[in-house]
Amino acid sequence: MTPTFTPGRNIALKVPPHAYEATIRFYRDVLRLQPIENHPPNVGFEFGGKQLWVDRVASLSQAEVWLEILTDEVSAAAAYLEAAGVVRCDAIEPLPEGHQGFWIADPASIVLHLGARSGEW
Is 72 strand, coil or helix? coil
Q: Report the domain count for the chain.
A: 1
CATH number at residue 61: 3.10.180.10
Domain that holds residue 76: 5-119
pLDDT of residue 1: 74
The Cα–Cα gap between 121 and 109 comes to 23
Q: Which residue in 39, 40, 45, 41 sits closest to 25, CA to CA? A: 45
Q: Hey, CA dihedral for 80, 82, 87, 90, is it positive or negative?
A: positive
Q: Which residue in 87, 86, 74 sits closest to 115, CA to CA? A: 74
The Cα–Cα gap between 76 and 114 comes to 12
| pLDDT, tens digit (0-9, with 9 covering 90-100), for 93-112 | 999 999 999 999 999 899 99
The Cα–Cα gap between 33 and 25 comes to 10
Q: Do 106 and 64 form a contact (C-beta atoms < 8 A)? A: no
| pLDDT, tens digit (0-9, with 9 covering 90-100), for 4-53 | 999 999 999 999 999 999 999 999 999 999 999 998 889 999 999 999 99
Q: In this model, does residue 119 exceed pLDDT 80? A: no
Q: In this model, does residue 120 exceed pLDDT 60? A: no
| pLDDT, tens digit (0-9, with 9 covering 90-100), for 42-73 | 999 999 999 999 999 999 999 999 999 999 99
pLDDT of residue 118: 78
